[in-house]
Amino acid sequence: MAGIGTAIWLMGALVPHHSAPPASPHRGRAFWNLGVLLGVGGILAGDSTGYEWLEFPPYAAIVLFTAYSLVVSWAILMFRFRRGDHIYITQWYLLAGLSLVPLVYGATQIMLLWSVAGSNAGSGHLVVRQQSSFPLVLSDLGWARRIT
């Protein structure tokens, strides 16, 4: 939530506009918190998926995807209807980051939990593992230990 809030704030600060913010980010925030509550409750109830970094149950993932889509649509519309011609590179990075997260998360959820079974399910798990920074940090630590 802190990252999403920072992205919304930064996009609002960089885009010159003269309109009041719509209710879409606030609804997205409410749905996000509901999705996290459902996910944590599902994990505690034993409905975890069993995949590392994707422990939330599928019903919580749908709520999170909807919430994130509301926030992303608001950011895209704010960028689309901006005033002036100047565009910062930060805006492009924000739009790319905000747009790629639901695509990767949604594709991984579909590959792992709804359509792929058997040995092909590992490819969806690979997508999540490679998007995380923790395996990269851990591999760097292992490399540094081998040298010393």
In the chain, what are the domain boundaries?
2-147
CA distances from 2 to 7, 31, 127 (A): 9, 15, 24
Least confident residue range of 12-21, 33-42, 83-92: 12-21
pTM of the model: 0.70
Q: Of all residues in the chain, what percent carry a pLDDT higher than 70? A: 72
Reported as a pLDDT band with limits 50, 70 and 90, residue 19 is low
> Bigger pLDDT: 137 or 14?
14
CA distances from 81 to 23, 65, 70, 86, 87 (A): 16, 24, 17, 13, 12
Q: How far apart are CA 30 and CA 39, in angstroms?
A: 14
Q: How far apart are CA 108 and CA 127, in angstroms?
A: 7
